Amino acid sequence: MMTSGNLAYFTKTRNLRLHHKIHTVRELRAAVCRTQPSTDISNGAVDEASVCTSTSDSESERVRCEISSSRQYVDREEFGEHGAAFLSGNYYPVVQEVTASCSCNERKAVDENPSMRVVGTIPTDFPLGQYAYVGPNPKFPVEHYKRWGQGPGQQDFGLGVGWHHWFEGDGMIYATDFCAGEKVKYRNRFIRTTSWERETKHGARIFRPLMNADGPTFLANALANFVQSGKFMKDSANTALLHFAGRTYALQDTCPPWELDAETLDTVSASTFDGKLPWYVPFTAHPKILPWTGELVFFGFNPVSPPHCTVGTLTPQGEVSSVNPLWSLPFVGSIFMHDFCVTEHFTIIFEGSMDIKPIRQILGIHPLQYNEGKRARFGVLNRGARSNNVSWFNCSCAQMVYHFINAWEDKNAKGEQLIVIVGVREDGFFHEAMRPNGSSAWVQQAVRIGDKIPRVHEWKINLVTGEVAEEYLFHVPMETPRINDKFVGMQNRYAYAGRILLSELETSTQLKFDAIVKIDLHERKTTVYEHGPNRYGMEAQFIARPGSEEEDDGWLIMYVHDESNMSADYQGCTQCVILDARNLEAGPVASISLPERVPYGAHCMWRADMIRPGETFKGAAHDTNVVAVDAKINPQNRPKLFAFTDSQKGELLDATARGISRLALGLFVHGWSPRIAFDDVSRYAFVRGAGLRLQELNGLEKARARQSNAEKMSDGLLIPTLELYDIEDDGSCRLVREVLNILDVAYVCKPCSQHLSKYRSELELLRGVPTGSEQIPYLRDTRDERVKKIGPDAIIQYLYNEYLDGEKPSFLVSLVGWFSKASARTNKTSGFTGSSTVLEQPLVFWAYEASPFCAVVRKALYELGLPHVVLPCARGSIRRDALYKRVGAFQVPFLEDPNTGVSLFESSDIVDYLKRMYTS
């Protein structure tokens, strides 16, 4: 809900924007720039920092991000304090998988794709590649994430319940590709792990919460998970991304890496690196690639099964070269580990003070606790020695680190060897701040005292004396630090991290970064770029300028979410922002407004070998291939059977009556026949049960088979060769469409109204006759420019010759055709009401002629003059199976808009979308 205070602020912010009219990043750069000291949250020390801030880009309001239906806040009573925080606002999950692309050219981008565009200038030497981010994004509607037992399909068995935890949400990847031809492409995809597939098929959560399940509930839930799924905990692959040796992986501490198809981002499978990674070794979310050898070093932390800690390496080719189990403590417990360090010769693991002790369940508390009595320590392994000997070095007290910045080898004045480690020390802060309830009060207390706030800290391990010298380097609250990856394991100067907005943590317990901080370890100073009012950044990736030698010569790229104008149905817009790492004060050099928001998540990566390694965004040769555009929907967004609005009743009744009067012609594919077969849940079935399904066959034989094979090869998105110019409500045109359904032939429809339209003019040129005297329907086949068929008889004869090996039309077709001709040409076409929208690609319309629901959508497409590919789905069509496989359900109408990545099922939703997007 928007309070009066929020409303006043919103109004003030909006008025400011209207007055200033900041339209471009160049203007934005000059908007507000100031210098101020950063806030000291602990001991009065003040870091010198130059601070630059921006306002929201006012033009971002024009970008449509209203696709996800959602609410701003969920209830703390029902979801718990933590669950409510991490399911609200921009933590609210997105439901749709989208694909969209646009040109980098600002003006052209607005014209091409109103839902995605580039503001500012992507530097000419910016490399081709992919910025990708991942985070938890629960797939079911939020009511499934209430306190366990209150959500749909959940049962409490009396041992307590448990609450949803942010870490347990399903993984989703959000990728922005910088492609040849100055194109930018955006995609988001669920990571379809075994757990994801299992719960999706079930239609509700199976895995009970563990992170927020106290005492005996933890064990009961873990056992219930194992009984139902064979796993104690859910594998979500929601924490980090890795692109290594040509392969892309989604990572989570407690599960194996999940490989994604690097090109499509589809989930491939859990990876064992060709069977060489043992099943008991989970793969860290923070592996390190050694810049000097190209090898990858990893560790595995297993909280359940021994060995609890393992270290290993991969060759630059991605093959496992070593796996060394370190220790097992089956009854005592294990230490929670999230990150580690490497230097030239050493691998350094960190045993912080968060430990897991099964006995705590008997005491009624969660087995994972921040243990004030456990002193943290570093374990140093000599990689060259290839032994499992770990040398331990104790820290001064209990400590916790989620993320290290870097580590390197050095010597002191006495010539003694040191290992220098820099990281964000937080001493159990996030563990406490993410408790299911009571976390706000705890955070307020922690912020007031200040000693547990995440800050950059340095440890110097003296390998000769065994001493560990410690100090905080900065007092700005920060997290998710990154560096220039070329300096991993070597002494470096710069790091980049998100500044935590403590006031937000105190009030809503939401973790948000209101600024990006550049850390200078040499000068011990920071430069801060504030994202602007209501704007929050996600983890930043450093991208080196091609050929650069200086450590900070490059860019920072990150998603920044604008929470301005948030309401019950609108969670704001996200931009992909590029900053010059050497000149943060100048503000973004470019920002890309995305077609869908990116919920706040976890970690990011940069993939440099995506298309043409080494080529830059504008130096690359233009790619003549149009960027492939695809659209998928989350099976959660399943269609509702026979859903329609009150305003549609008249149209539906009219369409139903029309279908009856035409003897349901076009409802069945030629030669339709039913058959009982053994069930296969991956296939469409009209009816299924008792292990059987009703299979529908057709008699289209060879000619149709050739076309269907071609469609399969292109994932159902083949652009057909047939182009039909027709009128929606004309009897003869309808007869042609019915025959196309009977023959199951896809075609491009170019709607012509009785009034002037783009396609009427096009037809006039094709026919070489004045407007009004052209004959419609008109069909041409782009395979042969001589094929231009006019009128229903010629077209139908051509279709039967071409697609049914010369058979004659059935008696039913002839009968309805006779009625169509006899019943005078009423041609009661609706007037052309849409704009002459030029679409980069036609819409894709899965439908069949006899369906009244499809008729409602078809009417809107014709009225708006929108070209569309019709993929007929009459009974017996193979496309029913294709759609089922594509989106996990079959129902038509189903519309895909490859220009925006939007895909929708419901006729009312589709009509609303079309009018919103394409009415001038």
> Which residues fall in the annotated binding site for Fe cation?
286, 338, 403, 603
The Cα–Cα gap between 857 and 655 comes to: 11
Task: Please answer whether residues 351 and 206 qualify as being in contact, where contact means their C-beta atoms are separated by less than 8 angstroms.
Answer: no
Peptide bond into 893 cis (omega under 30): yes
What backbone phi and psi angles, to 5 degrees, belong to 323? Answer: -140, 115
What burial class does residue 359 get, using C-beta atoms within 10 Å of its C-beta: 0-12 exposed, 13-18 middle, 19+ buried? exposed
The Cα–Cα gap between 105 and 118 comes to: 7
Let me know how long the chain is.
Answer: 920
Q: How far is CA 546 from CA 125, 126, 539, 550, in A?
A: 7, 8, 22, 11
Tokens for 724? 């039909």
Nearest Cα residue to 67 out of 99, 102, 94, 45: 94
Q: Where in 171-214 does DSSP place strands (E)?
A: 171-179, 183-190
Tokens for 43? 């001991």
485 forms beta bridges with none
Tokens for 83? 């669950």
Q: Where in 663-755 does DSSP place strands (E)?
A: 673-678, 688-689, 692-697, 722-726, 747-751
The Cα–Cα gap between 780 and 757 comes to: 18
Cα angle, residue 722 at apex, residues 716 and 723 outer, rounded to 5°: 110
The Cα–Cα gap between 602 and 135 comes to: 5
The Cα–Cα gap between 261 and 249 comes to: 9
Residue entry with tokens 């029913």: 880
What's the number of CA atoms in the CB half-sphere (13 Å) around residue 307? 13
Task: Please answer whether residues 250 and 191 qualify as being in contact, where contact means their C-beta atoms are separated by less than 8 angstroms.
Answer: yes
The Cα–Cα gap between 322 and 315 comes to: 9
Tokens for 394? 């104790």
User: Which stretch of DSSP H or E encloses residue 863?
Assistant: helix 852-863
Tokens for 372? 């004030």
Binding residues: 286, 338, 403, 603
Cα angle, residue 256 at apex, residues 300 and 538 outer, rounded to 5°: 85
Residue entry with tokens 């005078």: 824
Task: Please answer whether residues 533 and 56 qualify as being in contact, where contact means their C-beta atoms are separated by less than 8 angstroms.
Answer: yes
Tokens for 538? 């996600």
